[in-house]
Structure 1
């Protein structure tokens, strides 16, 4: 009975010790996930399902939904040459290498040693009377040494888990940078096309205003109108020219920004004019489910992996409270003459096991545990914030597309009305039944509405890209 009790108690104590130093069980933060997006079309809603880790699933080439070969090439060029993406890829390599370093601790370390050693032992260490002269000697050594840490309390395993989670987080961050790059290229491209459309409209307006100046000048020369009409026509012409010049500056800046995204010098890149036409079709993007958003967003995946790494480091910190067992061994030859080093008579070996346990460390171990626990709390808060921000981004872009669609309908009605008003004003002015100021007001209103329609076209394209990005680059 007395011998059986220790046998039963020993495994129980061991399990308690192991439980004390193991990493705590990581539980998903309590986040309220709605069953659907508030701004999403209820017809597109589907049944709720729990999120599953799927951040590595293929997302496809989402930009091809725009059916634009120029955009396809720009994104391919940016993916191949963008500096920020290359830096993110290098960080992935670093993280994987660090994980390899941590993984190496699971295996014994074996080293080869060879070389001479000049030494002089004391007389007492050699069993001679004190004061006996001992001549210095040269000792040649050639041997293999091996060491191995027995992972009794999970230090090595938890360290490996943390490094692997860091590598996974780095890979997810790379995918997030890639998605951001693709979206930035697409949005800059559509802003550039919108600027081209707006610039084309302004150039046409300049042509019409210039024609008005010539017509009014001829009518003034004939005495049909006063000098005031000619002056107003010239003012309108100069104003529109100024706006066109300002827009050319904005277009150049967009072109330079696109060059940077493509990894090219701004001076070496040029984009030909490609106005965004009213006939250009934009893809319809289904919002999907909020739970599916957690599967697709690479930034959320990175935050999740950061939690896993922080949790594993708690186990690393706890393991410092318990003994560490290291096995060491060495074997080879040792001789005072190099020619005798590898003879059987010169053989030597040593083998040992060292168990070390911290006794007094000034509270360092406990402070490291508290620090690692606080790091986990920080990563959990970061994960929660990433999820909430992701939901908000989707809602923002959904409401953006919804309101822009409503604006487009209103602009179409306003455009038809403004064109009719400008046509009537022109006929009345030509017939001498209204002043040039009335014609000018009608033309200004038409120009403002047409320009708003062009700008709205670009906003809808960039907001569509923003929605795709907020959904994780796919649907």
Structure 2
């Protein structure tokens, strides 16, 4: 019997836990130049968003961490998972109950009778095979998975707040660009109005200029609408009603510093990303539940003990005692539900393993995409700067020629539209670079410490 409880029992429970096989990468491909730079940088700091050097952003993120409802819900689920461990531990302990009672009878013509009883009982299923311990291990793994879920939600929240804040500052600068272009076109309108009085231009030119101003005004209103909508979303992320947050105006290119590329190799990703750790801990939980199901094939040994006394008088109740001990063994000879449960838990573990592999592959994609986007968008930003410089020279020449009648209104329109479009694209690209930096830090684990999933 003892030989069976050792190596033989372990064989029934199945092999020790081993991390699932997953696709491997040796290095990053996207944005090769940046990936090379990353190797020389220090690892991600826990409060990595401080690197943007924007105190107001830091305040927003602090408020969001304190107020976000999703984080609070996940914290409560983590508490529930902790209670699940306690509940599973209780199943390994004996239960003791106490009962006491009395009865009184009186019949006509007879003396009254009374009796008193008290008893104590103990029930204990001995976990000699480790089946209950497997259940505890599964709950502990689920707790770790819930903890990783909270970290993943924390990282998503921080990233969302930062990205939305950058969008608001982008809209601020785009609104200013729109206002500056409007001012130029209103100046043109005054020129055409004066020329119309002198009969130098037809009225259609004046009407065309007013229509252009209408278009610019409409686009400005749309930018203002988008900014307010972004503030509503930001308020929800912080956990306050929409309209409660008013972000002060600012210049994206002046206020926010672009972060350095963080260090991080593909092999480190599996130990740092909360979502990957969450999936692997659920593989571990499934592994333990399968072991528990397999151990259910072994005999179940229980110990029942009772002690009590009975008396016709309360004063003598504790003078006499009876004690009983009843060990029992239950051997599952034929129980089809045990085999079915083993098959079900085997499938559950396979599903958990595939979900883990899928998360790993998706994580590689997110890092590669962020590196690629930062690399190419920095190049696009440089081309936009050159385009804007060239268009400004063209516009200045055209405005000088306009009063002399040497350039057409259509040419001025086209140059102004191209310049404004390039300026707005430059701001959008700058904001996208910042958002890609946020995505990269998030994709690399966001500063959470490395962690190895194992059976303790």
TM-score norm. by structure 2 comes to 0.90
CA contact (8 A) 2:23 2:361 kept: no
2:452 maps to none
Residue 202 (structure 1) shift: 1.5
Residue 45 (structure 1) shift: 6.3
1:304 maps to 280
2:377 maps to 404
Instruction: State which drifts further: 183-192 or 217-226.
Output: 217-226
Residue 214 (structure 1) shift: 2.5
- Rounded to whole Å, the distance in 2 between the matches of 1:198 and 1:116 is 86
- Rounded to whole Å, the distance in 1 between the matches of 2:319 and 2:267 is 70
Instruction: State whether structure 2 residue 236 is matched by structure 1 residue 250.
Output: no
Residue 250 (structure 1) shift: 1.3
What's the RMSD between the two structures over aligned residues? 2.4
Residue 116 (structure 1) shift: 4.1
2:454 maps to none
CA contact (8 A) 1:82 1:261 kept: yes
Residue 311 (structure 1) shift: 0.4
Residue 14 (structure 1) shift: 4.2
Q: Could you give the per-residue CA deviations for residues 196-227 of structure 1, whole angstroms, max 9, x where no partner exists?
A: 22122212222332232223212212323221
Q: Could you give the per-residue CA deviations for residues 314-336 of structure 1, whole angstroms, max 9, x where no partner exists?
A: 11101111111111223343334
Residue 304 (structure 1) shift: 0.9
Instruction: State whether structure 2 residue 36 is matched by structure 1 residue 43.
Output: yes
1:470 maps to 443
- Rounded to whole Å, the distance in 2 between the matches of 1:179 and 1:398 is 18
The counterpart of 2:59, out of the listed 62, 73, 93, is: 73
SS in 2 for 1:325: strand
1:394 maps to 367
Distance 1:139 1:375, change over 3 A: farther
The counterpart of 2:319, out of the listed 344, 349, 354, is: 344
CA contact (8 A) 1:21 1:153 kept: no
The counterpart of 1:240, out of the listed 181, 204, 216, is: 216
Residue 251 (structure 1) shift: 1.3
1:129 maps to none
Residue 136 (structure 1) shift: 12
CA contact (8 A) 1:36 1:45 kept: no
- Rounded to whole Å, the distance in 2 between the matches of 1:80 and 1:108 is 42
The counterpart of 2:331, out of the listed 328, 335, 357, is: 357
Q: Could you give the per-residue CA deviations for residues 376-410 of structure 1, whole angstroms, max 9, x where no partner exists?
A: 11111111111111011000111010110110111
CA contact (8 A) 1:20 1:318 kept: no
Distance 1:89 1:23, change over 3 A: farther
Instruction: State which drifts further: 365-374 or 239-248.
Output: 239-248
Instruction: State whether structure 2 residue 380 is matched by structure 1 residue 380.
Output: no
Residue 369 (structure 1) shift: 0.3
The counterpart of 1:157, out of the listed 130, 133, 140, is: 133
- Rounded to whole Å, the distance in 1 between the matches of 2:57 and 2:337 is 56
1:33 maps to 24
Instruction: State whether structure 2 residue 92 is matched by structure 1 residue 91.
Output: no
Instruction: State whether structure 2 residue 96 is matched by structure 1 residue 110.
Output: yes
The counterpart of 1:180, out of the listed 156, 166, 187, is: 156
CA contact (8 A) 1:411 1:453 kept: yes
- Rounded to whole Å, the distance in 2 between the matches of 1:467 and 1:336 is 81
Residue 279 (structure 1) shift: 7.1
SS in 2 for 1:144: strand
The counterpart of 1:214, out of the listed 181, 190, 214, is: 190
SS in 2 for 1:331: strand
Unpaired runs of 5+ residues, structure 2, are: 106-110, 449-456
- Rounded to whole Å, the distance in 2 between the matches of 1:331 and 1:208 is 99
- Rounded to whole Å, the distance in 2 between the matches of 1:371 and 1:353 is 32
SS in 2 for 1:267: coil
Q: Could you give the per-residue CA deviations for residues 171-199 of structure 1, whole angstroms, max 9, x where no partner exists?
A: 01111111111111111111111112212
Instruction: State which drifts further: 84-93 or 208-217.
Output: 208-217
The counterpart of 1:170, out of the listed 146, 168, 188, is: 146
SS in 2 for 1:271: coil
How many residue pairs align between the two structures? 439
Residue 351 (structure 1) shift: 1.9
TM-score norm. by structure 1 comes to 0.87
CA contact (8 A) 2:235 2:241 kept: yes
- Rounded to whole Å, the distance in 1 between the matches of 2:322 and 2:287 is 45
2:244 maps to 268
SS in 2 for 1:268: coil
CA contact (8 A) 1:21 1:154 kept: no
- Rounded to whole Å, the distance in 1 between the matches of 2:144 and 2:114 is 52
SS in 2 for 1:266: coil
Q: Could you give the per-residue CA deviations for residues 98-128 of structure 1, whole angstroms, max 9, x where no partner exists?
A: 0111122233223333334799xxxxxxxxx
